Amino acid sequence: MKKKIRIKFQNGVNYQIIINQVLNIVLDEFEFEESDQPDFIFFGPYGNDVPAPGPYVRIGYFCENVIPDLDSCEWAFGIPREQEINNPKYKRIQWHNLNPEDLVKKNVDAEQILASKNKFCNFLYSHRVPYREEFFRQLSKYKKIDAPGKSMNNMPSIDSRPGEDLWTSKHHFLSPYKFTIAFENYVYPGYQTEKLYDAMLCQSIPIYCGDPFIGDIFNTKSFVNTPDYTDVNNTTLVRWLERNSQCNFEDIRPAFYRSPQNRVQRKLKAIGRELKMKQQFNKLDFSSLIERIIDLDTSPEKYIAMLQQPWFNDNKVPQGISLRERWIEIFSGGKA
């Protein structure tokens, strides 16, 4: 018989999303029941509804690129690497709403995949990010890049087709492209998003820039990894800017938006992050990276060879990054 768990969801997350996308990996062990008298409160990073200490266990799910607030919860999940947070009650989120087994390549017909690619490259972003847009401009000198989002827009936006959700429509859009620009909005250790995974699922070779430790999870020979083709500086200044410009939980909470001190702090951090990116990536000179993309685009043999590479090292989902054991520990015991 499954153990019944009385649980409450708040601060930007709800029962349906978390059960289907996060706790689905332990539904064989536990039955979750929403309750106003919970044993556990699961809260997200989106608002001010952060639970106070009480006769329940607080689970903070900080699924944004911020330093998690470990004082606000008994258990925490977030984006930074576990080596950085260095706390036994913290775990990094690797998979969110994705079954990693879907990224294991099986019987890949690389020649057929290439034959299905009738478009060059896409750039699908809503938010304007200076270093990302600068790469778009530089690569656009070679060939036109399709950009249906608000950032660098040059074509109609993507709309969901009848009977499809937004993610399915996005995948239909990505599939004809040889390349997908998969640049995170910021480069920070541990910060990965669906930008990379969606391109992989569509067999559109990602041009990736993001988590410096991406090679711990994925085979970097299977996509174009920006640091492999661009001078990356790891100077004292870059490390200082990275450490001191990273947002914390307070920076994104509405309760602090109007505070003059917090406004100044957020602005200084934003300036620091932009400066860090320029310093880290050789003043945003992407010429060597673009040469590699052109080489792949003009050489079917090299493009096919990259398609044949597995997304994962050894074509296996890495061990030790599933959160299943941690969830079992939490719901079987309680506080850390």
pTM score of the predicted model: 0.89
Q: Cα separations (Å) of 84 from 240, 243, 244, 269, 315?
A: 14, 11, 14, 19, 28
306-326 tens-digit pLDDT: 999 999 999 998 888 889 999
Amino acid occupying residue 233: N
At residue 1, the pLDDT reads 84
167 or 299: which carries more pLDDT confidence?
A: 299
3-state SS string over the chain?
A: CCEEEEEEEECCCCHHHHHHHCHHHHCCCEEEEECCCCCEEEECCCCCCCCCCCCCEEEEECCCCCECCHHHCCEEEECCCHHHHCCCCEEECCCCCCCHHHHCCCCCCHHHHHHCCCEEEECCCCCCCHHHHHHHHHHHCCCCCECCCCCCCCCCCCCCCCCCCHHHHHHHHHCCEEEEEEECCCCCCCCCCHHHHHHHHCCCEEEEECCCCHHHCECHHHCEEHHHCCCCCCCHHHHHHHHHHCCEHHHHCHHHCCCHHHHHHHHHHHHHHHHHHHHHCHHHCCHHHHHHHHHHHHCHHHHHHHHCCCCEHHHCCCCCCCCHHHHHHHHHCCCC
253 or 110: which carries more pLDDT confidence?
A: 110
What torsion do the CA atoms of 77, 202, 12, 249 make, to the nearest 10 degrees?
Answer: 50
Percent of the chain beyond pLDDT 70? 98
Q: What is the residue-averaged pLDDT of the chain? A: 92
Domains delineated in the chain: 3-94+321-332 (3.40.50.11650), 100-232+281-315 (3.40.50.11660), 236-272 (no CATH)
At residue 52, the pLDDT reads 95
224-277 tens-digit pLDDT: 999 999 988 889 999 999 999 998 888 888 877 778 888 899 899 999 999 998
At residue 120, the pLDDT reads 98
Distance from C-alpha of 219 to C-alpha of 187, rounded to nearest angstrom: 18
167-203 tens-digit pLDDT: 888 999 999 999 999 999 999 999 998 999 999 999 9
pLDDT at residue 162 is higher than 80 = no
Contact predicate 224/199, CB 8 Å: no
Contact predicate 98/117, CB 8 Å: no
At residue 166, the pLDDT reads 78
At residue 161, the pLDDT reads 63
At residue 15, the pLDDT reads 92
Q: Structure tokens of 216?
A: 């711990």
Q: Cα separations (Å) of 181 from 237, 281, 294, 320?
A: 28, 16, 14, 29
CB atoms within 10 A of CB 124: 21
At residue 142, the pLDDT reads 98
Distance from C-alpha of 158 to C-alpha of 140, rounded to nearest angstrom: 21
At residue 259, the pLDDT reads 82
335 or 49: which carries more pLDDT confidence?
A: 49
How does residue 9 score in pLDDT terms, banded at 50, 70 and 90? Answer: very high
Through-space distance between the first and last CA atoms of the chain, rounded to whole angstroms: 25
At residue 12, the pLDDT reads 92
